[in-house]
């Protein structure tokens, strides 16, 4: 990636990938995110950090959690928010993504939040926006989902403390998973004790990620794990429909059931980025059970997105102060 995620002044400007983000910046985002959490039942945190600024959500792939939480994060920081209806946008008439960006930039957008099925789109946009404008990757093909990686690490730390002492197992369709890649990047930066990738051979990456150990047996792969993260089979990313695993057979071999989970530590936490396919990669009783932190992942995701927006605002404020 050629685009720099930090400005010359040292502010976070873009968030495209965790692979190039220093450990200190990851820690700073998570620390800031923690300040936005409020006790259950209390009103959510609001402030005026982004008053007068505009955030545009451009989701060229479906999303519930990421899109809703970026929208709420921006609104809770007092930004104006544009949610472009991409199915009705002029991209459907052949307009290039950069022309869409230039058009919206002319409407004084300060932050673009972008999800796209093609690799490199967020970085390419970041290379072409005005100097004060920021680009946040909200999910890029199979390669990167940085705010997801941050919220996953934040959730693990809040339950288990320092990741250096932990054994983390990521289970499922690793090959097509930007979630697995970003989680692995963040965990590796923070010095995870042991990272395991678990799944059938055809769903494992051709080259392992972040020096993780690879397992093709669920019981072995999650044995004594502190954290077990289940992933959805990303049907939309298979080149041929015939290659998609049979759901029942997959659940039998790799589904997180109560029985399977006995191989992990008794106090292991169970994670899933969502959306879930209950009865395929995870049993409903586990998703809703006492070891599940899936809803906390969602809550922490909103806090992480507030933190990232607040931090890139330092760049916007510094750049526009000079105008």
Binding status of residue 159 toward ligand CP by CB under 6 A: no
Instruction: Give the nearest residue (CB) to ligand CP.
Output: 66
Nearer to ligand CP, 98 or 298 (CB): 298
Q: Which of 158, 303, 282 is nearest to 228 (CA)?
A: 282
The one segment of 8-16, 73-81, 186-194, 273-281 that binds ligand CP by CB under 6 A? 273-281
State the minimum distance, in angstroms, from the CB of residue 166 to ligand CP. 21
Give how far Cα 80 sits from Cα of 84, 108, 315, Å.
13, 11, 18
Count Cβ atoms below 10 Å from residue 305 Cβ, excluding itself. Answer: 31
Nearer to ligand CP, 64 or 285 (CB): 64
Count Cβ atoms below 10 Å from residue 95 Cβ, excluding itself. Answer: 13
Q: Considering only residues 101-140, where is the footprint of ligand CP by CB under 6 A?
A: 139
Give how far Cα 105 sits from Cα of 77, 111, 140, Å.
20, 9, 21
The one segment of 21-29, 62-70, 119-127, 199-207 that binds ligand CP by CB under 6 A? 62-70
Binding status of residue 200 toward ligand CP by CB under 6 A: no
Per the CB < 8 A criterion, the answer to whether 315 and 7 are in contact is yes
Binding status of residue 65 toward ligand CP by CB under 6 A: yes
Binding status of residue 274 toward ligand CP by CB under 6 A: yes
- Asked if residue 275 has a cis previous peptide bond (ω within 30° of 0), the answer is yes
* The dihedral formed by the CA atoms of 11, 300, 16 and 276, expressed in degrees to the nearest 10: 180
- Specify burial of residue 128 (Cβ count, 10 A radius: 0-12, 13-18, 19+): middle
State the minimum distance, in angstroms, from the CB of residue 179 to ligand CP. 6
State the minimum distance, in angstroms, from the CB of residue 232 to ligand CP. 9
Nearer to ligand CP, 95 or 236 (CB): 236
- Radius of gyration over every alpha carbon of the chain, rounded to an integer in angstroms: 19
The one segment of 6-14, 74-82, 260-268, 272-280 that binds ligand CP by CB under 6 A? 272-280
Residue 16 three-state SS:
coil
Q: Which of 93, 68, 96 is nearest to 83 (CA)?
A: 68
Q: Which of 148, 177, 182, 291 binds ligand CP (CB under 6 A)?
A: 148
Binding status of residue 172 toward ligand CP by CB under 6 A: no
Nearer to ligand CP, 7 or 148 (CB): 148
Binding status of residue 64 toward ligand CP by CB under 6 A: yes
The one segment of 61-69, 101-109, 159-167, 302-310 that binds ligand CP by CB under 6 A? 61-69
How many residues lie near ligand CP (CB under 6 A)? 10
DSSP 83: E
Nearer to ligand CP, 87 or 322 (CB): 87
Give how far Cα 248 sits from Cα of 108, 172, 229, 239, 275, Å.
50, 14, 19, 21, 18
State the minimum distance, in angstroms, from the CB of residue 277 to ligand CP. 13
Interaction mask 228-267, ligand CP, x per CB under 6 A? ----------------------------------------
Q: Which of 122, 200, 245, 273 binds ligand CP (CB under 6 A)?
A: 273
Distance CA 139, CA 121 (A): 10
Residues that bind ligand CP (CB under 6 A): 63-67, 139, 148, 273-275
């Amino acid at each position: 990636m050629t685009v720099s995620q930090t400005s010359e002044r040292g502010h976070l400007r873009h968030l495209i990938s965790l692979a190039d983000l220093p450990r200190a910046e990851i820690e700073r985002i998570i620390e800031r995110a923690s300040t936005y959490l409020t006790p259950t039942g209390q009103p959510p945190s609001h402030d005026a950090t982004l008053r007068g600024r505009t955030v545009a959500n451009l989701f060229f792939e479906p999303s519930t959690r990421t899109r809703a939480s970026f929208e709420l994060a921006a609104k809770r920081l007092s930004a104006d928010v544009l949610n472009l209806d991409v199915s009705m946008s002029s991209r459907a008439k052949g307009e290039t993504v950069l022309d869409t960006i230039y058009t919206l930039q002319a409407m004084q957008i300060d932050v673009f939040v972008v999800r796209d099925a093609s690799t490199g789109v967020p970085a390419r946009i970041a290379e072409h926006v005005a100097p004060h404008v920021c680009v946040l990757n909200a999910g890029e093909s199979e390669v990167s989902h940085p705010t997801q990686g941050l919220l996953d690490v934040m959730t693990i730390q809040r339950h288990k403390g320092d990741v250096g002492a932990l054994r983390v197992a990521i289970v499922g369709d690793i090959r097509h998973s930007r979630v697995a890649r970003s989680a692995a990047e963040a965990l590796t930066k923070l010095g995870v004790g042991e990272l395991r990738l678990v799944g059938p051979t055809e769903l494992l990456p051709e080259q392992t990620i972040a020096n993780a150990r690879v397992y093709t047996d669920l019981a072995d792969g999650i044995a004594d794990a502190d954290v077990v993260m289940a992933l959805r089979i990303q049907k939309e990313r298979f080149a041929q429909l015939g290659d998609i695993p049979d759901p029942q057979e997959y659940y039998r071999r790799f589904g997180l059931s109560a029985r399977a989970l006995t191989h992990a530590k008794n106090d292991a936490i169970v994670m899933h980025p969502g959306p879930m396919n209950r009865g395929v990669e995870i049993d409903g009783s586990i998703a809703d059970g006492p070891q599940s932190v899936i809803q906390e992942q969602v809550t922490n995701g909103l806090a992480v997105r507030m933190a990232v927006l607040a931090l890139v605002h330092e760049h916007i404020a510094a750049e526009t102060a000079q105008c």
